[in-house]
Every structure is written in structure tokens, then in C-alpha cells.
Structure 1
């Protein structure tokens, strides 16, 4: 994702949330190394779907929390994480709304364009999914001038800004749209998202989860790309893909870092719409007691490093949700 600098007004308000010593072990896996311990945990054990925004010498971490989309930040390149205003609980940047179309919020992406923070998120009304297999996730937008507190744009108050195609049961995003990843470049917004079709209990002709795409000139009105960006059949080491993020490097590569059934993979292309070359093995696998499953990555490319954050969860309880970290030298050793 293209990350743009912001100046934090709350740097004097520090609360240690989770720390990573420079001496913490890193485990090598594929072309990435990952920390053996989580790098961030929330007060109640629910920190998922990280979105990372580079901010001068600081990092902002937006994540799925119990009451909405929460925020933490780091002043030391991700070694230690704090919450604004000395919050002892999750600092909520965007609150969920009872009785609204988005009374549950998840899978967030925050970028900054022309001094305005834009938060793309998925929301749904809990318990009202069209099928038992998926909630009706769709994509909303909220904005902020300071990156701390967000308000929904007018177009996102009563309805999502990007909606599922419910014209028939076989559309690629018929049942859910999750995990938006957004890059802004030269007047155009580029988005990927996970499109879900679960028709006939996952047996319909287009059933499955695919990485889909859309573009916009204003960040609000979007035109979907008809063909999938990445389909599950292209990932040879896993039968499933889902949450993903979009990144653009200074040397011109488009990267998609994506979840599989239990692991995290990566793909690249010299154009947004593809085709994408998929690295032939996972770059992050579950290795430790706290992360039986790893998913929902986001990242930045800076100072010769490709850095990704993701959430891990322990089975069989599926609790707690914790944030992990992995990195690789950049350019990547793709061969």
C-alpha cells in the first residue's frame, strides 16, 4: 500500500501495549523471517486484520477490535506499540453502530491522500447474511483529518460505497466483500478485495473466494474489474485464498500479500490488473503455539526491507487474536 507521512499530535501520550526486543528470535521461512512472539496484543486479546501506515518516524497500526476499528502507534519502528491518550482499553478510531448496515466492523485499510486520511473497511449487520456460510460483508469509507477519530462519509452512512453484486447467485462477490487493499497513484485509486460466492453451500458453479479488483477517480465511486485478479486455482500450495493487501514498490512492482487456508503467500505483477506471478510457497506458516493460523496481512516497503504484519490465532479456541511480524530484504530474492 502507498503510505504517506502524517505528524502525530499525541506523541507525548505513551502506553506500552506490546514490545519486541531487538534481540527477539527471528525464524527464517522461505524468503521471509518472522518473529517467534507476537508484536502487539490488545487489552482484551482481540487484535486482528492489521493495517499499517508509515508516518514519518512513526508507524500507525489500525486493527479490528471488539468495539470497532482501533489504533495503536510506534515511535521506534515497531519495537514497542502504544495507544493514544494513555488508553487502558482499545483506542477506537471508528466505532461500530447499532442497527446500522455496518454494526460490525472488520478488515480495515487506511491511506492518506492530500492531507486526508481515508479508512476503507468492511461492515455488515450481524446475523443477517443471505446464507449461513457468510455474513453480508460490504465496503464502507470513513475519513479523518488527524488519523485518530474517523467519521463516515455521507455516501457510507446509509449504505456501503461498494456493494455486492446480487444480480444472480453466481456473481463473484455475491455473498461477501472483505479485506480491501488500496493504493492511490496519479489520480487513481486501485483496490483489491476478497469476493465471496458460497452458493449451494460452496458447490455452485462460481463458488469460492477470489481476489477481485476495482478502480476509482474519487475514492467513493468505484468500477469493478470483471475478471478476478487472483483465483484459488493459481495458488498451487493451498486450496484457499482470502484476505489480501495491495502494495506498490518504488521500482514499479505491484504486490499482493494474501492469506490461504492457514498461511500467507505473495504475488507480484508489473501492472495492477495482472497477470500476477505467485511465489511457489508460503512466506509465513504457523510455527508457534500462539499462531495455529496466520492471516490478514498488511505491509510496507522501506529502507531495503519488505515488512508485513498479520494476525495469528490459536486453535482450537480461536483465541486470542495477536499481531505477528515478518520481513525480508528488498528487492526480494524471487527466484
Structure 2
């Protein structure tokens, strides 16, 4: 999905939900004729498959009146549907054309089309002097935990040194928020000395844990790569050692930047929509939204940050299993990890992991399918863990259909 000057100009930062079986995208864009490049509004598009989209030319959220906190820009929406059927949109607003002073607002809707800004806006403001979000609080992502009846927000904070870091807040009603401080900052993701931090978090809750997808910021101000981390409590995170999605070559539409992930757990897979940037930083600047997918069974994550004392491949559970089972392993040090499924003839049927991993305790879910996505027959299967030249172990499991 690329810019259409009949409807919108530069655009991106998608937020995707499913509504009555249809995919709905909310995104920020400037006017299509580029007559007002500083004013950003939020639009809505729909799709039957998440690939082919139909835009609506009427914005669903516009900047406030002159003098309001969001008088110039409303963008980076994050939309969720509550169990009650009400829709909430958290968004970033600014009353200036500079890149500081961002605050987070809330709008509500009964149908996902017609939105009303909350009278308590902004619901989250920049922090005090010296805080990680001293200059701005923006790019919110919110998860509602129906069991705890609590809202959790992760957002980008801008420090006094213009570094981007990710913080967390919680709320009982989605309006009044308590900040919990910074939870993630740039470290293993640094690819260039001048990288400006991590930004644009998108959170999902799956299998009882939080997963966060986020982007790095290159020195030029565009996204460098998309990364992934997991957490049991939303505050203590275990990062993947490698990015999950990187830029294309210099001639591609993501050649200069990739950022703003929006992820759905959808039909046995993760689907990620993201913003791509193609520019020479002087004469042209183009953006678009792309889609990437991966099987749920290949999404591997550390379950807690403690460092194990030894390599270990643990028993899968449940065993016997149908339709899926969880495999756990522990790494006392970083290494190249392969986790592979074999049948009793010694034939490889599925590769679950094949990448560098940092030390930690990991889990991966296998759904009884091979690498082609075909469901396998009942029987005994072997799962083998290999960590470089340091460790090899194999265990048995029984798949019953």
C-alpha cells in the first residue's frame, strides 16, 4: 500500500485490527496535494485479506483547534476493541511543527468509524526534568487484560539528549495512567554509533506473556530494523539477539528505512504491517505500508531473564499432545541454536529455530506440521537441540490425532 495523492500524501504508522472478519487499518497522513505538509491527520482503510486495501478519503481524527495540545498533528494511532464492543484509539498529538512536546491522547468510538476525543486529554504527558520522557511521550501501544481488568501501555519517550527509549504505564480505566518508568533502551540493537534509540513499540499478549515489536532509529531519523522482545510482566524484557525484519536493498521501497510495526496473531501466524521509507534525503521522500508473516511455531522467545547454569533440553508438555506442544530449552551462554523435529526414520520434518540466541530460557510451540505447513500423521517424533559445537541433545514426543 503506497501513497495516493488523491487521498493522502506521505503516510505510515499503521494500526491494524480485525472487525467482523475484515481488516481495518488506521494510519497517519498529510494532505494528498502536499499543500499543508505540517498537518497530520488519521485515516481509515479496509481490506478483506490484509493485502488489498480500500481507503476512505475522510479522516477519522483531525488536529484540534488552535491553542489545543494537538492543534497541528494527530498520528501514530493504536486501536483496540474492548470486550464490551467499544473501540479505543490512543494517539500522539502535537501543537507545534517541531519534534518535541508530543503528548498522548484518547478517542472513543462505538463503531470504529466515528470517533470522539476524550475530554480528559491528553491522558499522558511528558515527564519531569531528567526523566527518560522529558521532551515527549508518543507512539503508544495498549493492551487490555480482561482477567485483571487493567490497561497496560508502552510508549516512546524522548530524553533531553534526543534519544528515544520505551516506557510503560498502567491504568484501571484507560484514562488515568500511572507511569512505571523506562523498560527498554538501545543496547544490542545498535548498528551505528549515531543511532538515536528504539521507538514505535507494538505489543501483543499471547500464550500468557507480552511480546513487543519495535524499531531502531538510524542517525538520519528513519527506522533501521524491527526487533522483538518478550516479558512475563511487561516490565522485564528479554530481547532477541537479531532483528526480525530488516530494510531492503537501497533501490527498494524500504531501502532507507523500516519502522512502525503493527502485529496481529491471526489464524495460526503472526502478521506484521510496517512502514517503509524510500528517499535520498534531499529531492524526494516516499513512504508505504508493507506486510510480513511468520508461523506462530517459529516465534521463539525467552520466558525470563535469568541466566541458566547449564545447557538443557527439557521435556515437552503436554506429552502425548494434540494439537500442539511446548518445547523448552536453556542456554547459559549465547550461541547458534538449531531446534529440529525428525520422524523415526531420521527424516527432518520441521526446523523450529535456526538463529543466534542470547543466554536465557526459551520456549517454542510446535503445532504438528512440517515445514510446508502440512499436518503430520500420529506417531513418535524426535526433537533435537544443537548449540554450535557446545551442546547436542535429543528427546522423544508422541503426537496423537
TM range (shorter): 0.7 to 0.9
Deviates most, 116-125 or 312-321: 312-321
Which whole-Å deviations, capped at 9, do the CAs of 1:243-301 have from their partners, x for residues lacking one? 1111111x122111001121111111222222x12111111111142111011111101
Please give the secondary structure, in 2, of the residue aligned with 1:96.
coil
Do 1:237 and 1:282's aligned partners in 2 also have CA atoms closer than 8 Å? no
Q: Which is strand-richer, 1 or 2?
A: 2
SS in 1 for 2:245: coil
1:8-48 Cα offsets, whole Å, 9 max, x none, are xxxxxxxxxxxxxxxxxxxxxxxxxxxxxxx3544343221
Is 1:285 the counterpart of 2:246 in the alignment? yes
Alignment of 1:251-262 (within 5 A): 251-261=207-217, 262=224
Distance 2:294 2:190 in 1: 22
State yes or no: 1:139 paired with 2:96.
no
TM-score (norm 1): 0.76
Give the equivalent residue in structure 1 for 2:144: 184
Decide which of 207, 210, 215 is 2:165's aligned counterpart: 210
**Distance in structure 2 (CA, Å) of the matches to 1:46 and 1:96:** 17
Bigger mean CA offset, 281-290 vs 302-311? 281-290
Q: 1:243 aligns with which of 200, 203, 211?
A: 200
Aligned length: 271
User: Structure 1's 304 and 40: CA in aligned 2 closer, same or farther, altered over 3 A?
Assistant: farther
Aligned to 2:53: 81
Q: 1:269 aligns with which of 227, 231, 247?
A: 231
Alpha-carbon shift at residue 332 of structure 1 (Å)? 2.9
The correspondence of residues 137-176 of structure 1 with structure 2, limited to 5 A, is 137-156=102-121, 160-166=122-128, 168=129, 170-176=130-136
Output aligned runs, 1:23-38, within 5 Å. none
Aligned partners of 1:96 and 1:105 also within 8 Å: yes
Q: 1:304–1:330: 8 Å Cα contact kept in structure 2?
A: yes
Long gaps (5+) in structure 2: 31-39, 218-223, 301-352, 354-401
SS in 1 for 2:258: strand
Are 2:279 and 2:286, in contact at CA under 8 Å, matched by a contact in 1? Answer: no
Match of 1:194 among 141, 156, 178: 156
Higher relative contact order (Cα pairs below 8 Å, separated by 6+ residues) = 1
Instruction: Report SS of the residue matched to 1:47.
Output: strand
Larger Rg: 2
Q: What is the Cα deviation at residue 310 of structure 1?
A: 0.9
1:319 aligns with 2:292: no
CA contact (8 A) 2:202 2:214 kept: yes
Distance 2:214 2:178 in 1: 22
* CA positional deviation for 1:234: 4.7
Contact kept? 2:137, 2:156, Cα under 8 Å:
yes
Q: CA deviation at 1:320?
A: 1.7
Check the 8 A contact 1:40/1:81 in 2, yes or no: no
1:1-150 to 2 correspondences below 5 Å: 39-42=1-4, 43-66=7-30, 67-75=40-48, 77-84=49-56, 90-99=57-66, 100-103=68-71, 104-113=73-82, 114-127=84-97, 134-150=99-115
Alignment partners' CA distance in 1, 2:14 and 2:277: 13
Q: Give the C-alpha shift of residue 236 in structure 1.
A: 5.3
* In 2, Cα distance between equivalents of 1:236 and 1:46: 27
**How far apart, in 2, do the equivalents of 1:78 and 1:255 lie?**
21
**1:136-160 CA distance string (max 9 Å, x none):** 111000111111121101112xxx1
C-alpha separation in 1, matches of 2:109 and 2:299: 38
